[in-house]
Amino acid sequence: MARDLPVLFCYAQARGRALVDRLQGKRPLFVCVVAHTDTVEIPGLSAAGATPELRTYTPAADAEALFYGRARCIPGGVPANPLGPPGPVLITMAALRLASIPFFVVDAGCRVAPDAPVIALGEGPGGNITTGEAVPESRRIFERGVALGRALAPLADYLVVGESVPGGTTTALALLLALGYDAEGKVSSSMAAGPHDLKVAVARRALAAAGIRPPSDPLRAVAGVGDPMQAAVAGLVLGALHQVPVVLAGGSQMAAVLALLVGLARQRGQALDPDQVAVATTRWVATDPASDVAGLMAQIGDFPLLASALSFAEARHAPLRRYEEYLVKEGVGAGGAAVAAALRAGCSATDLLRAVERVYEELFG
């Protein structure tokens, strides 16, 4: 049955198929965790947002778009890529609407507060990781995440947890390196060809500034070189996991959170159950020639990597078709939300494409 769904099985396929079979028709709850890291202010690192000024507004704008159908804190409806295409929140909005999936937004530490009813976990935005003191309150954010995960889990059959953190693939890289993974050149990017050299230089400087020699203590790694979203999602997952499975909706950033979760479990003498946690992303991340998320997954453990088969090759609107050039790949849990819509309501890739086009037309006429 799952074979007909628009879902690609990219790593740990058998386990991924079993999970998809188990979750089909079940009630997901989508949670988007938004945060800021000052790391994004390093020139050349991120293209999430039309300009560097607007980039700071991206997490808040994404949150507002989920609640109100368009952002309130920026013009133009939703955050856009500097080269034109609208951001991935369009996909998330379409998927959640199409399958009537309930959602929450968690503010793990924004610079611009969303004008929306978000769950506040944060202690302020994350610092630039090159200071080596990116998230001093990582443990407190983690603990609040645990409490939130416990509270959310009874509301659904499984959780789908996405993120919006401009600059977050660089903090993902730094976290993976701090935890001892071979991640250089493997993380994805908000640009077609990721600026790997710059990211690696920034991450190495961060580890040195934090005095981290891998493998680091997990929450200490986040405190030094991570971002607030990582601590929040890790807590949320561990709080929910004894009650329901969790799908981490994202690419490199969620691979890094998965590595963090594995580290936290190991620290407690436990193992993270690979039948209960998976990563789900977009086709653009899964097939990205400039990154290797499956290679990251393979290092972390035998956890499934799923991807939505959603394609914009046949999209009616030219800006959407540019996704196929890897200009925009993932964010706001777009891939995981698309997978959840397929599982919940049997939406085909074409259903999803049409729904995205409708959102596009609502916003841009």
Binding residues for its own copies (CB under 8 A): 29, 67-68, 100, 102-104, 106-107, 113, 115-121, 140, 144-145, 147-148, 151, 154-156
Q: How far is the CB of 109 from its own copies (least distance, A)?
A: 13
Q: How far is the CB of 341 from its own copies (least distance, A)?
A: 15
- Whichever of 107 and 351 has its CB closer to its own copies, that residue is 107
- Whichever of 154 and 211 has its CB closer to its own copies, that residue is 154
Q: How far is the CB of 144 from its own copies (least distance, A)?
A: 5
Q: Of 33, 177, 14, whose CA–CA distance to 114 is shortest?
A: 33
CA dihedral 348, 352, 357, 359 (to 10 degrees): 150
Q: Residue 347 has which token pair?
A: 């939406």
The backbone torsions φ and ψ at residue 10, rounded to the nearest 5 degrees and listed phi first, read: -105, -25
Q: How far is the CB of 35 from its own copies (least distance, A)?
A: 14
b/e string for 152-167 if b means 16 or more Cβ within 10 A? bbeebbbbbbbbbbbb
- Whichever of 103 and 181 has its CB closer to its own copies, that residue is 103
- Whichever of 132 and 235 has its CB closer to its own copies, that residue is 235
Distance, in Å, from the CA atom of 314 to the CA atom of 298, rounded to the nearest integer, reads: 32
| Rg, Å, the chain Cα set | 18
Distance, in Å, from the CA atom of 182 to the CA atom of 360, rounded to the nearest integer, reads: 39
- Whichever of 73 and 179 has its CB closer to its own copies, that residue is 73
Q: How far is the CB of 143 from its own copies (least distance, A)?
A: 9
Q: How far is the CB of 106 from its own copies (least distance, A)?
A: 7
Q: Of 210, 342, 358, 234, whose CA–CA distance to 283 is shortest?
A: 342
- Whichever of 104 and 158 has its CB closer to its own copies, that residue is 104
